[in-house]
Copies of this chain bind each other. A is one copy, B any other.
Amino acid sequence: MRVAVVGASGYAGLELVRIVLRHPELELVAVTSEKRAGVAVGEAFPALRGLLELDFEPADASALAGRIDVAFTALPHGASAALVAELYKAGVSVLDIGADFRLRNRETFTQWYGEHQAPELFGRAIYGLPEVYGEELKTARLVAAPGCYPTCVLLPALPFIREGWVERSGIQVTAISGVSGAGRTLDDGFLYAELEGNARAYKVAAHRHIPEIEQELSLAAGEDVAITFVPHLIPASRGMLATIALRALPGSDALDPDAAHGLLSRVYADAPFVRVLPIGESPSIQSVRGSNFCDVAVATDPHNNTLLVLSAIDNLVKGAGGQAVQCLNWMRGWPETTGLLEAPLLP
């Protein structure tokens, strides 16, 4: 199956290149980058020298359409929709890593991202969280891979919201992200000297992933769910943690750690990339780095009526390109783990 990675020179795009190269059913035939068009991949990124013989090309749907079966698009929001639409109409299966097709409510999209650039396709994508939408993915041709934070929050939290063990408001989510989540952004704040030994919250209760998380939690709950979301930047290239505080509902098992652990274990019994940690362990970035795993755990705090769920992913793999490839595996009927069962890099 012939594959293009569109926007291949960003961190998410490069990780897709890495994964596609390793995938036994995929052949990488095109990589795009406006800035580096005409440059050999190995020249632009010496790490990849000797591994593939492609030059970057501009992202041109008509030039790509006949040569590929599948496109992974890893472009900034806004820049993605029009190209995705063109590729889709040309018959290409498209898995979009960006934000343009994740939301279901047009008004909400406009409020957070501005005008949509391909309104005719708005709402047509399958939300690419295979642990939830696996069946729908089987027939999908347009997939919106979830954001990194939504992936990290939804997998551990959804079961408790869906089952009605916890309150649907007052949910408190803090998250920690490595800096690659911001892409290769040339901004003072992302310089090494500014981040070594540093950390800070950012976009406090104002991050664009909030409506995406609330959308999926609300769908699971059957009613509106509200979260407060505080992401933090830490000195790490990759990786992401979420710590989610849920208020136990009276009569539920939410404060019983065995019950909470049991629920997650049942829900994810057949999910090869969700590892439910034993009670007492906490997820860590190191344990998932470079892999498609999402590690989840529970802890309870009865004295404050709180159920805590915690999770870790590699934002560039399970939070981006790895998850998109996992979706493609579902779409093609390949084993879900094809090309993705890599051990984390340790240390």
Contacts and interface: CB of A to CB of B under 8 A. Distances in A.
Interface of A: 11, 14-15, 17-18, 21-22, 45-51, 169-172, 174, 176, 178-180, 184-188, 190-202, 204-205, 226-228, 230, 232, 234-239, 241, 243, 245, 247, 272, 275, 277, 281-291, 293, 295, 299-301, 303-306, 308, 310, 312, 341-347
Contact of A239 (B197, B290, B346): B197
A283 B180 contact: no
Given A204-B308, A228-B304, A305-B170, A193 B50 contact: no
Contacts of A290: 290, 345
Given A176-B176, A197-B239, A228-B301, A22 B169 contact: no
| Shortest Cβ-Cβ A-B pairs, 3 listed | A200-B284, A205-B301, A193-B347
Give the most central of A49, A191, A283, A341: most B CB within 10 Å: A191
A112 to B, nearest CB: 13
A201 B343 contact: no
A280 to B, nearest CB: 9
A347 B196 contact: yes
30 contacts: A18-B343, A21-B343, A46-B287, A47-B286, A50-B272, A50-B275, A50-B293, A51-B341, A169-B304, A172-B306, A174-B230, A180-B347, A190-B191, A191-B191, A192-B192, A192-B194, A192-B195, A197-B235, A198-B236, A198-B286, A199-B239, A201-B310, A205-B299, A205-B300, A205-B306, A228-B306, A230-B243, A230-B308, A234-B234, A245-B245
Nearest to A272: B50
A299 B343 CA distance: 37
A295 B196 contact: no
Contacts of A230: 174, 243, 245, 308, 310
Contacts of A180: 193, 347
Contacts of A241: 199-201, 232
Contact of A346 (B18, B285, B295): B18
B239 A310 contact: no
A245 B14 CA distance: 35
A345 B172 CA distance: 33
Given A171-B304, A172-B245, A346 B47 contact: yes
A22 B343 contact: yes
Contacts of A287: 46-47, 49
A89 to B, nearest CB: 32
B238 A236 contact: no
Contacts of A179: 191-193
Contacts of A174: 174, 230, 243
